[in-house]
Copies of this chain bind each other. A is one copy, B any other.
Amino acid sequence: MNKLLIVGTVAFDAIETPFGKTDKILGGAATFIGLSASFFDVDSAIVSVVGEDFPQEYLDLLSDRGIDISGIEIVKGGKTFFWSGRYHNDLNSRDTLVTELNVLADFQPKVPVGYQDADVVMLGNLHPMVQISVLDQMTEKPKLVVLDTMNFWMDCALPELHQVMKRVDVITINDEEARQLSGEYSLVKAAAKIHTMGPKYVVIKKGEHGALLFQGKEIFFAPALPLEEVFDPTGAGDTFAGGFSGFIAQSENISFGNMKNAIIHGSNLASFCVEKFGTERMLVLEKEEVYDRLKQFRALTQFDIELE
C-alpha cells in the first residue's frame, strides 16, 4: 500500500452554531484529514503534538482506523491546542472566541522513520516553518505534496509561506484567501498568480459554493452537495483535503484527469462532515454511504450534450 504522511493539529475544539454548542471535543486539521483519508486503501500516519490532558480514547479513535500515531508527540505536563469559535446564522462566517496554542507553541515535528519515504505528503494548516521542517525530513522526494494554509499565515508569516509554497505541488485555500494572497479579485486571475508562486495545481475552496481546481489554463469545478441543513462546517476543508490526498495516494496517478476525481472524492467526504458537530459524523460513516453519495454527485453534475 502507498503511504500518506499527514501533518497538522490534533486538538480540542469548542463549537457554537445556531443549532447548539459543544464542550471541548476532538478536533484539529490532522484529525479530520486522517479520518477522511482512512476511507481509502492507504497507509497513513499523523505528525502532531498534544498535551498530557489529551484523552487516550481520542488517540485510540485514530489508531482504530489504522492511522499510525507514533508521530503524535505527547508533551508531559503540557496542554493540548484549543480552539473555540461561534458560527453566524448563515454558517458561512464565524468568530474565533479562544485560541490557546499551548504545546503547539514549541512544536518540533518528527516524521516517523517509516514515513520519511511517503508517497504523498499532506501539509495541514500549521506554521509554514513546521511544514518546511516536515519536508526537510523526507529522504525521498514524494510523488505529491499538498499544502493547506490560511489567511492567518498570510498576515503574520508571509515570507515563510512563500518558502513552503515553492516546494509543494498542490495548494488548497479558500476564495478569500486566494484573493488576499494574489491581490486579484477574479479567481481565474488569482489562480494564475498563485501558480507563479510555486504550486502547479491550485485548489480554491468556496464552501457551500464548491471547489475549483486550476492547472494552467485548465479548470475543473466540483459543487458542494446541496444539503437540507448544514449543521457545523468545522473541519469540512480538512475533510476535503483528506479525501483529496487519500484518493491520490491510493490511486498513484497525479494526472489532471485523476485530480478531478480526487476533488469529487474530497467534496463527497466533506458533505458528510458538516452533518454533525466536529468529527461525530465521520466517526460513524460507512463506506457504503460514501459510495452511494458519489452516485448523487454524478447525478448532480453529469449531463449528456453530444459534442464532437
Which residues from B are CB-within-8-Å of A301? 220-221, 301-303
A257-B304, A307-B294 given as contacts; is B228 within 8 A of A188 (CB)? yes
Total identical chains: 2
**A223 partner, pick from B189, B210, B218, B230, beta carbons under 8 A:** B210
Instruction: For the complex, give the distance between the alpha carbons of A187 and B209 in Å.
Output: 12
Does the CB pair A300–B185 fall under 8 Å? no
Distance between Cα atoms of A286 and B296 in the complex (Å): 35
Contact of B300 with A264 in the complex, beta carbons under 8 Å: no
B300:A294 contact, CB within 8 angstroms: no
Contact A229 B294 (CB under 8 A): no
Known contacts A188-B228, A206-B209: does B219 contact A303 (CB below 8 Å)?
no
- Nearest-Cβ distance from residue A63 to partner chain B, whole angstroms: 29
Q: Is A291 interfacial (CB-CB < 8 Å)?
A: yes
Interface positions, chain A 243-296, Cβ under 8 Å from B, are 257, 260-261, 263-265, 291, 294-295
CA distance A260 to B257 in the complex (A): 23
* Interface mask (A193-230 → B, CB under 8 Å = 1, otherwise 0): 00000000000001001101000001111110011111
Closest B-chain residue to A256, C-beta based? Answer: B299
Q: Do residues B226 and A260 form an inter-chain contact, with CB atoms below 8 A?
A: no
With an 8 A cutoff between CB atoms, is A76 at the interface? no
- The answer to whether A221 and B305 have CB atoms under 8 Å apart is no
In the complex, which residues of chain B have a beta carbon less than 8 angstroms from the beta carbon of A307? Answer: 291, 294-295, 298
CA distance A187 to B264 in the complex (A): 21
Partner of A228, one of B186, B221, B261: B186
**With a CB–CB cut-off of 8 A, which chain B residues contact A230?**
186
CB-CB contacts below 8 Å: A153-199 with B: 185-189
Which of A186, A223, A265, A295 gathers the greatest number of chain B CB atoms within 10 Å?
A223
A90 at the B interface (CB under 8 A)? yes
In the assembled complex, which residues on chain B have CB atoms less than 8 Å from the CB atom of A295?
A: 307
Is B303 in contact with A260, judged by CB distance below 8 angstroms?
A: yes
B261 touching A185 by the CB < 8 A rule?
A: no
In the bound complex, residues from chain B placing their C-beta under 8 Å from that of A294 are 305, 307
Residue in B closest to A268 when the chains form the complex, CB atoms: B305
CB-based contact B298/A305 at 8 Å: yes
Report Cα–Cα, A220/B209, bound state, in Å.
14
Nearest chain-B residue to A265 (Cβ)? B305
Contacts of A206 in B (CB 8 A): 209
Residues of B within 8 A of A226 (CB): 187-188, 212, 219, 221
B188 lies within 8 A of A303 (CB): no
14 examples of A-B residue contacts, CB within 8 angstroms: A187-B226, A219-B300, A220-B300, A221-B301, A223-B223, A260-B304, A261-B303, A263-B303, A264-B303, A264-B305, A298-B305, A298-B307, A301-B302, A302-B302
List 5 tightest A-B contacts by C-beta distance, closest first. Answer: A209-B209, A221-B223, A260-B303, A188-B228, A261-B305
